[in-house]
Amino acid sequence: MESGAKGNAGPLGHDASAYAQRQEGLSPEPLRDAAWSVAGQRAFGVVLDVGSGSGGWIRRLQRNPAVERILSTDIHDAGASRLPGVEFQQRDVSRDALPWGDASVDWVFAIEVLEHLANPRHFVKEAFRVLKPGGHLFFTTPNNDSLTARLSFLVRGYFPAFCEQDYRDSGHITPITELDARRMAVEAGFQSIHFDYPLPGRIPRSSVYWQRLLPGLRGRWWSDGLFALLTRPR
C-alpha cells in the first residue's frame, strides 16, 4: 500500500481519497522474494491478500498450486480486482471489518501494509477472526529495531522509513517494533509468534549494506525488514 495526499485529503494512511492519488506502487522484488521463501510458497487453501495494490503479491500466490481461492482487499482498487479469479473487496482495514466470515481463511498476507495503517491493532484482530484454527497471518514491515533505525531515531528523531518524504509520498504513518508486533498479536489471541529478519540492512547514511562488509551479519540488528508469522491456536 502506498499513498500520496493532495489538498485536504486528510491524514495519510486511512483516507481513500489520498490513496486514489497514488502512483502504481510495488514492493521491492527482493522483499517479495524473501517473503515468498519464508511464507508465500507455504500457503494453501483460502488465502487473503491485504493491501493488494496492483496485485504483485497475488500474481506470486497464483503460482502456488496449493492455493485454492484468493481473496483481496485494499482501501483503493489499483488493479487487483481485475486479476482473474480474485475476489476483491474495497475496505479500510484500519477501521472496517474484513468482509469474510469467522474462521474462513487459511492464510492472511499483509506485505508492507501495517506501517500505512492508522490502527494496525484493529487489522490484526480482524485477521485473527477470519483465520481458521491453525491458520496463519504473515506480514512484513520496516524494521525499527535495527542498529541503523535506533541511531536514526536517536540522532534525527525518526526512524529511517518514516522521514517526511516517506510520510508525505508513501503514507508511512505507524512505525512498529518487534515489541509492538508481539503485543498486538497477543492481544488478538495469537500464541505462536515467530519473527524473521531475512533482508540485508543499510549502514547509516549510506546505500551500502552491512552484509557487504560482514556477510555473516544476521538478525534484528542488521536487517531493514521485520517479517512476522502468527498462527491462530487450533
Per domain, the residue ranges of the chain are 16-231
0.85 surpassed by pTM: yes
AA identity, residue 71: L
Per-residue pLDDT reduced to its tens digit, 43-74: 999 999 999 999 999 999 999 999 999 999 99
Q: How far apart are CA 84 and CA 70, in angstroms?
A: 10
pLDDT over 50 (residue 23): no
pLDDT for 9 equals 30
Half-sphere exposure of 61 (CA within 13 A, CB side): 30
pLDDT over 60 (residue 20): no
Q: How far apart are CA 201 and CA 211, in angstroms?
A: 7
Residue among 74, 98, 72 at smallest CA distance from 85: 72
Query: Could you tell me what percentage of the chain is helix, strand and coil, using 3-state DSSP and rounding each to the nearest 5?
Result: 35, 20, 45
Per-residue pLDDT reduced to its tens digit, 160-172: 999 999 999 889 9
Q: What is the mean pLDDT of the segment spanning 30-34?
A: 92
AA identity, residue 195: F
pLDDT for 103 equals 98
Bigger pLDDT: 127 or 3? 127
User: To 10 degrees, the CA torsion angle through 164, 223, 55, 23?
Assistant: 20
Assign 27 a pLDDT band (cuts: 50, 70, 90).
Answer: low
Q: How far apart are CA 211 and CA 194, in angstroms?
A: 23
pLDDT over 60 (residue 24): no
Q: Among the residues of 95-163, which ranges form H helices?
A: 120-130, 147-156
Percent of the chain with pLDDT over 70: 88
AA identity, residue 159: F
Q: What is the mean pLDDT of the segment spanning 145-163?
A: 96
pLDDT for 200 equals 94
pLDDT for 189 equals 98
pLDDT for 15 equals 42
pLDDT over 50 (residue 8): no
pLDDT for 13 equals 35
| Ranges 22-31, 113-122, 142-151, 202-211: which has the least confidence | 22-31
| Ranges 15-29, 48-62, 83-97: which has the least confidence | 15-29
pLDDT for 207 equals 87
Residues in the chain: 234
According to CATH, the topology of domain 16-231 is Rossmann fold (3.40.50)
pLDDT for 206 equals 87
- State the chain's mean pLDDT as an integer: 89
